[in-house]
Structure 1
Amino acid sequence: MAPPLNRRDFVKGSAIAASMLAMPAIGTEAFAAQPKDKYKPRDVALHWLDGGAPTATIGTTWGVSWPQGMHARGTDFTVAAADGQTVPVQSWPLAVWPDGTLKWSAHAIGADAGKVEQLKLKTGRPAKGKQVVSAKTSGDRITVDTGVIRCKIARKGSMLIESIERDGQPIVRGGHLVCQTQSHMEIDPERATTFAAFTGQIDEVTVEQSGPVRAVVRINGQHRQDDGSRSWLPFVIRLYFYAGSDAVRVMHTIVYDGDENKDFIRGLGLRFDVAMQGELYDRHVRYGGEGGGVFAEAVRGLTGLRRDPGEAVRQAQIDGRAVPPLSTFPDAVSKRLQYVPAFGDWSLRQTSCDAFEVRKRTKAGYVWLESDHGHRASGMAYVGTPKGGAAFGIRNFWQSYPAQLDVRGATGDEAQVTMWLWSPDAMPMDMRFYHDDMGEKTYAEQLEALQITYEDYEPGFSRPIGVARTSEMTIWTLPATPTRERFVELGNIMQEPPLLAAAPEHLVGCGVFGRLFSVPDRTTASRDVIETRLAANFDFYRKQVDERRWYGYWNFGDVMHTYDEDRHTWRYDVGGFAWDNSELSTDLWLWYYYLRTGRADVFRFAEAMTRHTGEVDVHHVGPFAPLGSRHNVVHWGCSAKQMRISTAANRRFYYYLTADERVGDLMREQVEAVRTLRRIQPGRKVESGVFTATPVGADHPNVNFGTDWGAVSAAWLTEWERTGDPKIRDRLLASMRTIAAQPYGFFTGAAPMNLDTGAYDIVHDKPPIESHLSAVFGLVEICAELVEMRLDENFTKAWLQYCRLFNAPAEAQKAELGHVVGPLNLQQGHSRLTAFAAWWTHDTELAQRAWKEFYAAKNGQPVRPLEVVRVEPPAVIKPVDEAPGVSTNLTNQFGLAAMQCLALVGGELPPNGEPA
């Protein structure tokens, strides 16, 4: 076995390989151009994702791609407006190419830059701002100063945020995490139910960035029972600060590590106090409703009284301004104010995605009054006075129900605020599985059940141990009660944070993500039909999310797997046909569609899915960590725990486009995921003989070259380009080299892997085999990147052989392999493999074959407009749309095949219809 390469050998070997590999031709009519040798942008035009300049921001971070060889890792960047004025920017590398030049860079601008519509990123010394952000550590405290607010963060104890000051006045104090549990889901008078309260306790605090434009503080800890008897529910909190901003962005992640049969969470959130100054009639509460609506009242109201305090008084209170002096009030009012009730407690609760309620009461022990109702609240609130207060909110509030925003004790010196990510007024969080074992005691019985419900069930594997959820909150420390217009503006910033992006043309030009996408082109009838279908497929799923109400704390971001045309519903209750959990690369379909279109709605959809599939569908601690769970009625319910679900391939897009640290954590979790194959088999209940199982505890587990290695290589490639770690690089290269050295290359199927070196054993004693699932979980996309990097000539040959032969006729497979590996499924989806081989080798016949495979739509979708049918009651409970024959599997694979065939061999697409 060859030793790992050192850096000198690697650079030398890469240069030799590059000279030996054939460079695809540039600028031909049939094949996509290779723009990396031409595209050298002096500057990059940036646009706001949602169109037009935002009215305000709290600061913005985004990622930009670069062609290989253009910029050194340490290049300085500056941002300029259309008028030539520079904008202060903080920059850092996200990824590098194999030659060490920048592949992705991250950039942050402060709050003051948000109103500029046109910006450009270019090399140069960054401008210095009038205000900077800094994070300084002293003793047991970190102090972050944005130039507007000063936040003191504890390094131990339970008070994460000790205080937030503005103009020297502490307005927010005592920020801490809260959790409430109960021991049984259903309250039974004959069975004792115990309740417990927990507070977040800090274990570790890290300053990840300290300015000058952006500061990030990470806090790790667990929730500890208030009596000290137990700690559980690990959390990761990141606090984000920007120069010139009065806001703190809070990323909140919990990992469920309890017993789902007795740890029922009945409340989960972030709590803090807000200083209250002045008279009760100058204390204001605001809630964001729907459609820009605002609920705005005072703790002690001065409107609607039997005696009128005067229009000036009433209008000032309505506006949130300080009312005129009490001496100006009529005596009939001023002498009787003590008899006007003061409401100290307020609550907005979103009990479902379609219903919220605002309530208030004078104080505990007295009845709640129903103040208002609505459908979908914005998730924003405010409490304070004309002398200062706090606005606060939860992003994706109604989408992630049940959520709640509480204010308590607004009549005292401090009002207590709780942002409930799980409302204590809702039913407790139920993490249990949805059925008993139904007699599935043995492997044979479990396999039989799989044949009828498509559910891979095994006792003990349906537990939620280790699943996570990340939520986003924002706290503004304000100098006064905001106007209604400003309050709505803050809510919009929270729900759709302004994000800068480069145009799709720039991304295409840089050659990132395997060159597998192109800018939409409708210049021929054939292209127009494909583009129309691509758009219709996305729009259908976007509408289905709302129509089918795919919302909720644990559900938001996922879609369903398969449709039931008899019931006119998705198979939400049928085994493995329910929640999709990234099956057949839903994430990749959405992200590649965004890359080529730049559509904001596609980005937001894909963003929500990345949050969900990377957190909820993956076990982050416990016996299954860090693997993901295959599709199921319950996200974590399937006993097939696999790297194909937890793969970093699905997260890389969001990370590189936004520089999101939490997603960076998720990808790093996967670097050693392959080691779990020593004890957990990725697919136990499949036909015997497809791949050899690994004995539990084996030092060299069997790692297949498809779904397993696709995930392994994605994790290793990403870690290498993020860090430059030579050990990770060497493991990746060794795995590539030894796949290529197999007798049948990728068609060897699997082999034992040395987990320390990454090298596979060479297998000589079995015929070629293949699964139709091998390449549909990110393998195609990662291999496209690896081949483009020209790291190993023999690997490139092995991959091209696989691409060429997968859909090839039996006689072609027989001639080259000595065996026939088919018939194989998902031929339409695999037409993109044929297209890649055609593109790389400049083979016109292969390009034509790729389009024939695509149009044949075998195990795929027909190339025609999507048919959508409206189904009306009483056939259904409410009117719904359905697409006959819809399948998320086939939608994903159609989308990826269409986009990649257009990018690679679009020139061979007949202009007016199906190939002959």
Structure 2
Amino acid sequence: MEAPIYSRRTFLQSAVATSLLAQFPAIAHGATANAAPGAAPAAKLTALRWLDRKPARFEGATFGVPWPRGQVRLPAGKQLQFKLAGAEAALPVQSWPMAYWPDGSVKWTAHAVAGGAPATDWRLENGAPPDGKMSVRRTAAQVEVSAGELVWTVPTSGQYLVAKAVRSGRVVMQELKLVALRQDGADRETEGGVTRQAFFSKITKVTVEQRGPVRAVLKLDGVHAAQGREWLPFSVRLYFYAGSESVRVVHSFIYDGDPAKDFIGGLGVSARVPMREATHDRHVRFSGEDMGVWGEAVRPITGLRRDPGQAFRDAQVAGKALPPLAGMAQTVRDGLKWIPEWGDFSLAHMSADGFTIKKRTQSGEAWIDSNGGTRTKGLVYAGGASGGVALGLKDFWQRAPVRLDVRGAAGELAEITAWLWSPSAPAMDMRSYRAAGEMDTHEEQIEGLNITYEDYEAGWDSAQGVARTSELQLWVLAATPSHQDFSHMAEQVANPARLTLSPQRIHQCGVFGDWDPVDTASPARRLLEERLALQLDQYLREVEQHRWYGFWHYGDVMHAYDNDRHMWRYDIGGYAWDNSELSTDLWLWYSYLRTGRADIFKLAEAMTRHTGEVDVYHLGRFKGFGTRHGVQHWSDSSKQPRVSNAAYRRIFFYLTADERAGDLMRELLESDADLHQVDISRKLKPDPARQGAQPGLVGASFGTVWGSLVAAWLTEWERTGEVRWRDKVVNGMQSIAALRQGWFASSAPYDHRTGKFSGPGDQAKFSNLNGVFGVVEMNSELLTLVDVPAYRKTWLQYCRTYNAPAGDLVALFGKNLGGRAMSETNSRMTAYAAHHERDGALALRAWREFFDSDTLRGTRGAPRRVDGAHTIRPLAEQRSISSNHSAQWGLAAIQNMALAGDSLDEAAKAAGLVP
């Protein structure tokens, strides 16, 4: 059911494909006369680049690559074969298809690269299959992963994620497990007390998701358990790469407790490290500020009253074994026993703005303050001169309160822990911020909504079912790392090395709808690009200025600004946390696609990790739905698929091949079956289109509901080829087109079993929200993938008409329909119709609509400095900034330039924006 849409855009994509074929004549596997079926093409395929810069240390990575339709085919039973080639190194690559075009050709491939010496410039080329440097063996009791000198043993049940890691025949790490501290009440404020109980991981299922010569992936599912109770279900993925000394750990858990009784006092990942050397040869390292390192021995020999000798001092500082003690000054040698052995070390980051380091000799003795700083990258090491374990937590200070611990370093087994929630901090409080008894009646709730913009309803502000994903890296090392090596490892934790493609290379493949790379070739384009960059820079700045950090917060942005307080409206109902309102996620991801900027990627990545987990329910009655914007991420009673929208995850998924993002999208495949449990319209005025629906049907809007569900079905069809998901998409498209008013009906009774809408659909109306939650972007893709002419017709008519003059509406409907808003941002629908109908006059109208505000005029939006006693810290403030406007204006600018760029200069001159 491929769509034969022969537009200018399709022609350009075909031209690009032709140019790619000219550049890569053997790109299609098995499709050339000189190549056997499944053979690798000989030509260079694509250039890669580092997201940031060439890393000093590379532990392996996985990335996605798109291909033009029809250019890469994979015969049955064959495997993709690639390698990385560069001037400095050549590494094997493990490759697999991620998604397919409707004609069966490969749309996206994923590639895992072995760790090793990173190259400055790498090319992805066809090559021989990688040699077998990794192996995975499974028995009923365990899975054993071998990579070089390392052998990891993963039990299939029990408490431990990894029972042991053996290096060159020696156990260097053992008993890797999860720990959660449950607290039975909030922290004491005046008097009284609380008790804590420790829960540990209990593995219920181990799945070998991937085994290969370069990468192995194990998924461990389980719960936290203690004394007959199980809670906090989790999934943990372990990623092993050839050529790497580490395992990447992706930790996801769901909060399923009673917020009034179950407070998380600590949440962590811990392992034990055998300590074999004398205590003066045992070492602890913490990452410090920037590239700095804090490093000390368990029994220090520097700074003593008597000098042990330069060689001994140098060795200990470097983390090496001391020379034979016979060469040490006798007074020091005889006095070693009097030097305290420091067994416990702790680095606590209680906020995003500072950390402290302290140590003590053992439990029960006093802590001694050591040092501190502003921000650290979140890596700790414990071990001896002959080896040990380093454990790091990504987004460390951004997710404070966090902590890194070493316990028992003076004994036979040290314990090293990365606390995702620090036990030093007040317990995690998941209760509602509202007092009991507020807004008990429907009328009171409507009144409250009208003043604070948050839709409150008792019982609908529960945190039960929200989730969070964290990323860790654990090294099993043959020696204590030098300060420089440890610093490089800390950088890898905080900013994992990523291989990426240029915006031009991605754009050539025709993926993700209507966008194009940054282009400042003309004054008008430069004007738009500068404004887009200004707005992106402002949001990057706002994260820091207003400290949008914390375990549950990092990755989200706020909704609207309060000029009077010089603060975002963090405490004003629906104006507080944004929760993907009006597609902020898509704005950031399309901005990254166009620019390739690392800072935008990182903000978009953090947002994807947040909005797909925290703002969405993963179990319970709201499972599959997200929460509208509010003071707490779960506080608003409007639970909708427009927030859980898979469109907000799929770009990250395809660029990175991230399995967790893939899980989140698959969670949504059947969520439409529960629409009847969460009546989205229960507080709205009755809608005739929703009245009299047959049993089993539920009223659903085309944009905010169906348009949000479509992304999950489309992605699953692309990933698996299962036609039932394509058919469900097509059923929706055909049934919308069959309504008397088509897309103008806005909503209709919906049957989740078939994906079809029903009813007469004879009431025309507009909803300004229908086009701002990803359906515009998804339609741009759908209409190039499936051929539903009637749907294409009604969508194009809707796009042309949404911003049309009132007289056009009267001529079409006999009256001027209400409900239209945001003409500036919805100009992209006008541009879409203009492009596909090849209507130059309509393209100019799209630009007039887009320019119909003062967004691009004068200095509007330029940040101003606010300082002194007016605010908590000096700010670069953008007055009246709104995430709704920023996201939708940005998306409109991006799509309009891609669709109607040829008319931009003419329109901008007519509007007086450029000479």
Question: How far did residue 557 of structure 1 move?
Answer: 0.3
**Which of these residues, 701, 709, 728, is aligned with residue 731 of structure 1?**
728
- Aligned residues of 2:766 and 2:819 also touching (Cα < 8 A): no
What corresponds to 1:72 in structure 2? 73
Q: Distance in 2 between matches of 1:393 and 1:822?
A: 55
Q: How far off is 1:27 after superposition?
A: 7.4
Aligned position for 2:893: 898
**Partner of 1:4 in structure 2?**
none
CA distance 1:653–1:677, shift in 2 (3 Å): same
Match of 2:719 in 1: 722
Q: Which residue of 2 aligns with 1:103?
A: 107
Deviations 1:441-474 (A, max 9, x none): 1111101110000011000010101000000011
Cα deviations by residue, 1:786-808 (Å, 9 ceiling, x for unpaired): 11124211111111111111111
In the other structure, the counterpart of 1:811 is 807
1:659 CA drift (Å): 0.3
Give the fraction of aligned pairs with identical amino acids, expressed as a percent: 43
What residue in structure 2 maps to residue 336 of structure 1? 335
Q: Tell me the amino acid that sits aligned with residue 172 of structure 2.
A: I
CA drift of 1:685 comes to: 2.9
**1:120-179 alpha-carbon deviations (Å, 9 max, x no partner):** 224x343424x6222210221000111131110010011111001111111000111111
Name the structure 2 match of 1:474.
Answer: 473
Counterpart position of 1:541: 539
Q: Give the AA of the match of 1:495.
A: A
- 2:485 corresponds to: 486
Cross-structure match for 1:400? 399
1:824 to 808, 820, 824: 820
Cα distance in structure 2, aligned partners of 1:192 and 1:298: 37
- Do 1:533 and 1:864's aligned partners in 2 also have CA atoms closer than 8 Å? no
Instruction: Please report how far the alpha carbon of residue 38 of structure 1 lies from its aligned counterpart in structure 2 after TM superposition.
Output: 4.8
Aligned twin of 1:216: 217
Structure 1 position 602, deviation (Å): 0.7
Letter in 1 for 2:744: F
Letter of the 1:772 partner, please give it. N
Task: Verify: 1:878 aligned to 2:876, yes or no.
Answer: no
Question: How do residues 506-655 of structure 1 correspond to structure 2 at under 5 angstroms?
Answer: 506-514=505-513, 516-655=514-653
The within-5 A match list for 1:795-810 is 795-810=791-806
Q: Are positions 1:787 and 2:783 aligned together?
A: yes
Separation in 1, partners of 2:370, 2:9: 69
* Partners of 1:701 and 1:499 in 2: CA distance: 44
Q: CA RMSD in A?
A: 2.0
Shift of the alpha carbon at 1:863?
Answer: 8.3
2:902 pairs, out of 903, 907, 913, with: 907
Which SS does the other structure have where 1:115 is aligned?
coil
1:759 pairs with 2:759 = no
Measure how far apart 1:73 and its partner are.
3.9
In structure 2, the residue matched to 1:7 is none
1:58 is matched with 59
Counterparts of 2:757 and 2:10, CA distance in 1 = 36
Residue-by-residue CA offset, 1:104-125 (whole Å, 9 max, x unaligned):
110011002x511222224x34
**TM-score, normalised on structure 1?**
0.94
2:745 to 745, 748, 751: 748
Gap change, CA 1:26 and 1:683, over 3 Å in 2: closer
8 Å CA contact 1:643–1:682 kept in 2: the answer is no
Matched-pair contact (CA < 8 Å) for 1:558–1:609 = yes
Task: Label 1:241 to 1:56 Cα distance change in 2 as closer, same or farther (>3 A).
Answer: same
Maintained 8 Å contact 1:47/1:500: yes
The alpha-carbon deviation at position 523 of structure 1 amounts to 1.5
Partner of 1:10: none
1:189 deviation in Å? 7.7
Q: Give the counterpart letter for 1:602 in structure 2.
A: I
Structure-1 residue corresponding to 2:41 = none
SS in 2 for 1:357: strand
Aligned equivalent of 1:700 = 697
1:6 aligns with none
Specify whether residues 595 and 376 from structure 1 end up closer, same or farther in structure 2 by C-alpha distance, changes over 3 A only.
Answer: same
**In structure 1, what is the Cα distance between the partners aligned to 2:703 and 2:372?**
52
Aligned mates of 1:417, 1:523 — CA distance in 2 = 55
User: Please, which moves more after superposition, 212-221 or 40-49?
Assistant: 40-49
Equivalent position of 2:97 in the other structure: 93
How far apart, CA to CA, are the structure 1 residues paired with 2:692 and 2:413?
Answer: 61
Query: How far apart, in 2, do the equivalents of 1:26 and 1:435 lie?
Result: 53
Q: Is 1:272 equivalent to 2:271 in the alignment? A: yes
Which one-letter code corresponds to 1:149 in the other structure? L
1:509/1:865 Cα in 2 relative to 1: closer, same or farther (>3 Å)? farther
Structure 1 651/778 Cα, relative in aligned 2: closer, same or farther at 3 Å? Answer: same
Partner letter of residue 23 of structure 1?
S
Give runs of ≥4 in structure 1 deviating > 6 Å. Answer: 25-28
1-structure distance, mates of 2:902, 2:410 = 71
Q: CA deviation at 1:911?
A: 5.6
The alpha-carbon distance between structure 1 residues 478 and 413, as it changes in their structure 2 partners (threshold 3 A), is same
Q: Which runs of 5+ in 1 are unaligned?
A: 1-13
Tell me the secondary structure at the aligned position of residue 669 of structure 2: coil
The alignment partner of 1:444 has SS state of: helix
Aligned to 2:37: none
CA change 1:386–1:376 in 2 (3 A) is same
Taking the TM superposition and a 5 Å limit, the aligned residue runs for 1:844-863 are 844-857=840-853
Instruction: Verify the 8 A CA contact 1:134 1:144 in the aligned structure 2.
Output: yes
1:50-69 Cα distance to aligned partner (Å, 9 max, x none): 34432221111000011111
Q: List per-residue Cα deviations over 1:235-257 (Å, max 9, x = no partner).
A: 01000000111100000011000
Q: Distance in 2 between matches of 1:862 and 1:441?
A: 47
Does the CA contact (< 8 Å) of 2:272 and 2:415 recur in 1? Answer: yes
- Aligned counterpart, 1:664: 662
Deviation at 1:706, TM superposition (A): 1.1
Distance in 2 of aligned mates of 1:769 and 1:376? 53
CA apart distance, 1:704 = 1.2
Q: Which ranges of structure 2 fall in alignment gaps of 5 or more residues?
A: 25-43
After superposition, the Cα gap between the structure-2 partners of 1:221 and 1:26, relative to the gap in structure 1 and judged at 3 Å, is closer
Cα distance in 1 for residues equivalent to 2:620 and 2:508: 43
What TM-score comes out, normalization by structure 2 length? 0.94
Structure 1 residue 193, shift from structure 2 partner = 2.7
Aligned pairs (5 A) from 1:140-159 = 140-159=141-160
Residue 282 (structure 2) aligns with: 283
Q: Is the 8 A contact 2:187 2:427 kept in 1?
A: no
Alpha-carbon contact 1:558-1:580 (below 8 Å) kept? yes
Q: Contact conserved, 1:212 with 1:243, CA < 8 A, in 2? A: yes
State the Cα distance separating 1:80 from its structure 2 match. Answer: 3.5
Q: CA deviation at 1:692?
A: 2.8
CA distance in 2 between partners of 1:370 and 1:758 (Å): 63
> Which amino acid in structure 1 is aligned with residue 279 of structure 2?
L
Count of residue correspondences: 888
The answer as to whether partners of 2:358 and 2:369 remain within 8 angstroms in 1 is yes
Higher relative CO (Cα under 8 Å, sequence separation at least 6) belongs to 1
Inter-partner Cα distance in structure 1 for 2:594 and 2:811:
38
Other-structure match for 1:497: 496
Q: Contact between 2:199 and 2:225, CA under 8 Å: does it hold in 1?
A: yes
SS in 1 for 2:690: coil
* 1:345 shift after superposition: 0.3
Q: Distance in 2 between matches of 1:823 and 1:583?
A: 19
Instruction: Work out whether 1:310 is the aligned partner of 2:309.
Output: yes
SS in 2 for 1:134: strand
SS at 1:180 equivalent = strand
Residues 134, 211 of structure 1: 8 Å contact kept: yes
> Any idea what the Cα deviations from partners look like across 1:748-776, whole Å, max 9, x if unmatched?
11122221221221424x42012100010
Indicate if the aligned counterparts of 2:741 and 2:764 stay in contact, CA closer than 8 A. Answer: yes
Aligned residue for 2:710? 713
| Cα distance in 1 for residues equivalent to 2:349 and 2:103 | 52
Match for residue 445 of structure 2? 446
| Contact 1:39–1:510 (Cα < 8 Å) also in 2 | no
Residues 79-114 of structure 1: per-residue CA shift (max 9 Å, x gap): 2423497531111111111111111110011002x5
Q: Does 1:24 align with 2:8?
A: yes
Displacement of 1:910 in angstroms is: 1.8
Q: Distance in 2 between matches of 1:22 and 1:189?
A: 72
Structure 2 letter corresponding to 1:99: D
Distance 1:752 1:27, change over 3 A: closer
Q: Is the 8 A contact 1:855 1:862 kept in 2?
A: no
Matches of 1:170 and 1:682, distance apart in 2:
56
